Amino acid sequence: MQDESYFELRISNTDLESIKNTVPSKEHYCPHFLKCGGCQLLNWDYEKQVEWKSKQMVALCNDIQLTPQAFLKADEIFAYRHKNTYTLKAFKTQILGGFYAMNSKSLVTINHCLIQDKKAEAIFNSLKLILKQQKQQVYEPDYDEGYLKHIVIRVSSSTDEIMVILVNASSEFPGRKNVVTALRKAHPEITSIYENTNPDQGPYVLSNTNRLLYGRETLTDKMGGLTFHLGPSSFFQVHPNQAEMMFKEALSHLDLRPTDTLVDLYCGVGVMALMCASKVKTVIGIESNPVAVKFATENAALNQITNAKFYKKKVDEYMGSAEGADIVLMDPPREGASMAFINNLIKMNPRQILYISCNPLTQVRDLKQLALQYKVTWIQGVDLFPQTKHIESFAILEKKVRRP
């Protein structure tokens, strides 16, 4: 298996020294910077961050003899996160919370983070106090004892709905009713409270085992003029406003026709697929997560879209027997597409491909593999993660016309 670090953009030693030696403004100072590791570029002012990310895109695209479009900056560069995840830890009589340091299981305890949603942060700090007052037992991974492990708080910027998810090591959670009552009293703006049971000590915070403790079953958010229902485990873009801007820009470069069949691979809860539905004949969404497929189907009905169907299948399994498509949307995981995926994509013979990536390193690698049959007509980096080194990018590929 390839080392995961291969799939990460690297900050040069020169840039790292520049970041360390830059004095941030008092307003944007973080005492946890470089300890937490979550905001690798925080000390730089935003224009410097954009300049660095633009250079990364240019360097990567030079490798495939392309010139990227101007890097798309973000308007909201602080407090932008839709999903806010905190890990809990007991220390003497205190209950602490924070984030794991990069590539470590060492917890950096925090009370304030510049990129976390302010409403989520207030709830997180209240909840720590409630848990202490009620003498709740926080999970201890070294001994595999206790209950509460993580707190996940989802905030919709478009509807102001808030979903709180209490992640427990087991279904036993003494005093859950009292915790919910106290949390609702402290924060009546909360619209849902869930319990998520995840006994595993692996890298995933949430399982698919959820129990509604209070309020609405779903959180409602909006994107591209459509309404979406989300559950506790649903994937949704971390920076929704910036993601919507990226989706609209990407779709503006697609030649969508009323006779087209569009296939969305890794469709999630159906955001991109449904944004395209009014411009094509048929939309097919493929997703391996059954909960995501359920929500995608519900979201189609919610928006009165009748030409979209979603299927629970592994992408490679679907592509192996797919009949073809006019347009393919793909948003693979960080490691990008396998050679089997690319070969099957070529067999599907789409007229155009929209390739969205959270890792331009592997995206550029995959574009090389597609270069014999497809021409990249547009590639652009987008800042979905201000203050961090991460870059989102999208590319439009068109089928090459073969000469007789």
Contact 42, 34 (CB under 8 A): no
Distance CA 307, CA 191 (A): 32
Q: Which long-range contacts (CB under 8 A, 24 or more apart) does 29-33 make?
A: 30/113, 30/114, 32/98, 32/108, 32/110, 32/113
Tokens coding 303: 């928006």
Max CA separation in the chain (angstroms) = 78
Going across the sheet that includes 162-168, the strands are 107-109, 94-100, 83-91, 148-155, 162-168, 192-197, 210-215
Distance CA 356, CA 254 (A): 13
DSSP state letters, 275-300: HHGGGSSEEEEEES-HHHHHHHHHHH
Contact 253, 378 (CB under 8 A): yes
Q: Is residue 358 annotated as part of the catalytic site, yes or no? A: yes
Which H/E stretch holds residue 312? Answer: strand 308-312
Distance CA 37, CA 29 (A): 14
The catalytic residue among 30, 61, 267, 358 is: 358
Catalytic residue numbers read 358
